[in-house]
């Protein structure tokens, strides 16, 4: 008789064992000659050495299935043990899977162009209006790289530019003041990585989320680096960020040129970078539009309405604001 301990690394044991340990009970029934005891992320196995080798091989395949798809079903367990391809293995074009097992893939022509630009370039600019999936798709590509071990870490950043609010009036210390700006990045990560695993990765700095100002002086190597909301960078800030690029690193810079929150006298660094770097080899530029919006259908209508308004009013926000202010006070 041989005893062995198998550690379920990088996955959530709850997903592996199933609700009420249903998956574990099924695995035990499929290997009746082995004594199997599970505790946390460790499986203790006692039995014949040949049977145990077969068991260990299948457990590893199940672990990899959970790591890739964030799910495991009874049908998957049977397919794996019988050496068959699982149902999810046959799905094409998937970048990553949500924690609920939902496939994350490109949903429009321009989103697919973003995926292809990432594959063929070390730096990609993704520019488009709200709801086109720029940030979410970029983070999915980064999570995929981490799981496939083509990158050792993910670094996510945003400029902490005030869109109407003032940092000084927000409660808490500096981290607590800045966190609201970074929340969309947390939201996307939480949709793709189980909470316990995400917390562990952040504590180990495998996933790092920081304001743009924290990037100065660093060299970012072996990583996928994403700069979100880049339209709110100054030319000096984006230049500083882009030159942080180290070996074996990919950068994705996303932005919406219709939502610049900088003072009107300040030029957007993203606009300048797109002009200067437009023809540099190794840099891809993907422009998304209203046809790529994947949020609620009203978002498309809202974006179109605002674009039409801007065209009719010459895009002069100061004039619009003054006009609205006069109307609120009963002036003409």
Q: Give the CA distances from residue 5 to residues 42, 110, 126, in Å, rounded to whole numbers and listed in that order.
A: 6, 47, 46
User: Are the C-beta atoms of residues 151 and 248 closer than 8 Å to each other?
Assistant: yes
CA distance 309 to 321: 13
In the block, residue with structure tokens 């304001």 = 211
pLDDT digits (tens, 9 = 90+) for 192-232: 998 888 888 999 999 998 888 888 888 899 999 999 999 99
pLDDT for the residue numbered 173: 52
CA distance 80 to 102: 20
The CA-based dihedral angle spanning residues 306, 307, 313, 319, taken in that order and rounded to the nearest 10 degrees:
60
pLDDT digits (tens, 9 = 90+) for 211-222: 888 888 888 999
In the block, residue with structure tokens 């999570």 = 143
The H or E element that residue 223 is part of is strand 223-227
pTM: 0.74
Pairing relationship of beta strands 42-47 and 207-211 according to DSSP bridges: unpaired
pLDDT at 320 over 90: no
CA distance 102 to 117: 24
Which DSSP string do the residues of 137-161 spell out, in sequence order?
HHHHHHHHHHHTTS-SEEEEEE---
pLDDT digits (tens, 9 = 90+) for 263-284: 888 899 999 999 999 889 999 9
Two structure tokens written together for 64? 């990899």
pLDDT for the residue numbered 321: 41
Q: Give the CA distances from residue 110 to residues 97, 114, 116, 237, in Å, rounded to whole numbers and listed in that order.
A: 20, 6, 10, 27
pLDDT for the residue numbered 161: 61
Q: Confidence band (pLDDT; 50, 70, 90) for 324?
A: very low
CB-based contacts of 52: which residues, under 8 Å, 6+ apart? 2, 4, 34, 45
Instruction: Please give the average per-residue pLDDT across 10-14, as a whole number.
Output: 86
Which DSSP string do the residues of 238-291 spell out, in sequence order?
HHHHHTTB-TT-EEEEEE-TT---S-TTSPPHHHHHHHHSTT-TTEEEEE--GG
Residue 243 burial (CB < 10 Å; 0-12/13-18/19+)? Answer: exposed
pLDDT at 302 over 90: no
pLDDT digits (tens, 9 = 90+) for 68-79: 888 899 999 999
pLDDT digits (tens, 9 = 90+) for 119-162: 999 999 999 988 898 999 999 999 999 988 999 999 999 887 64
Closest CA to 64 of 52, 72, 53, 75: 72
pLDDT digits (tens, 9 = 90+) for 84-93: 888 887 778 8
Pairing relationship of beta strands 123-127 and 250-255 according to DSSP bridges: parallel
Instruction: Please give the average per-residue pLDDT across 171-184, as a whole number.
Output: 65
Residue 10 burial (CB < 10 Å; 0-12/13-18/19+)? Answer: middle
Please compute Rg for the chain using Cα positions.
24
CA within 13 Å, CB half, 124: 28
């Amino acid at each position: 008789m041989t005893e062995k301990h198998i550690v379920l690394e990088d996955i959530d044991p709850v997903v592996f064992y199933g609700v009420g340990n249903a998956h574990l009970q099924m695995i035990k029934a499929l290997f009746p000659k082995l004594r199997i005891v599970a505790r946390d992320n460790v499986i203790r196995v006692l039995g014949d050495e040949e049977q145990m080798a077969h068991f260990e091989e299948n457990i590893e395949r199940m672990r990899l299935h959970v790591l890739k798809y964030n799910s495991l079903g009874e049908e998957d367990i049977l397919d794996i043990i019988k050496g068959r391809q699982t149902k999810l293995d046959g799905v094409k074009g998937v970048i990553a899977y949500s924690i609920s097992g939902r496939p994350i893939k490109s949903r429009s022509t321009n989103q697919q162009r973003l995926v292809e630009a990432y594959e063929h370039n070390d730096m990609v600019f993704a520019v488009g209006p709200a709801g086109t999936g720029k940030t979410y798709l970029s983070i999915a590509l980064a999570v995929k790289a981490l799981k496939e071990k083509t990158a050792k870490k993910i670094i996510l950043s945003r400029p902490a530019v005030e869109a109407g609010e003032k940092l000084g009036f927000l409660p808490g210390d500096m981290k607590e003041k800045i966190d609201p700006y970074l929340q969309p990045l947390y939201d996307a990560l939480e949709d793709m990585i189980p909470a316990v695993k995400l917390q562990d990765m952040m504590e180990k700095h495998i996933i790092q989320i920081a304001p743009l100002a924290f990037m100065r002086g660093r060299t970012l190597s072996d990583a996928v680096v994403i700069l979100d909301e880049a339209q709110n960078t100054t030319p000096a800030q984006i230049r500083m960020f882009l030159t942080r690029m180290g070996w074996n690193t990919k950068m994705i810079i996303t932005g919406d040129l219709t939502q610049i929150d900088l003072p009107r006298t300040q030029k957007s660094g993203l606009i300048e970078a797109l002009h200067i770097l437009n023809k540099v080899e190794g840099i891809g530029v993907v422009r998304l539009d209203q046809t790529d919006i994947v949020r609620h259908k009203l978002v498309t209508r809202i974006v179109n309405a605002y674009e039409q308004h801007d065209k009719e009013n010459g895009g002069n926000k100061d004039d619009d604001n003054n006009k609205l202010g006069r109307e609120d006070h009963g002036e003409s």
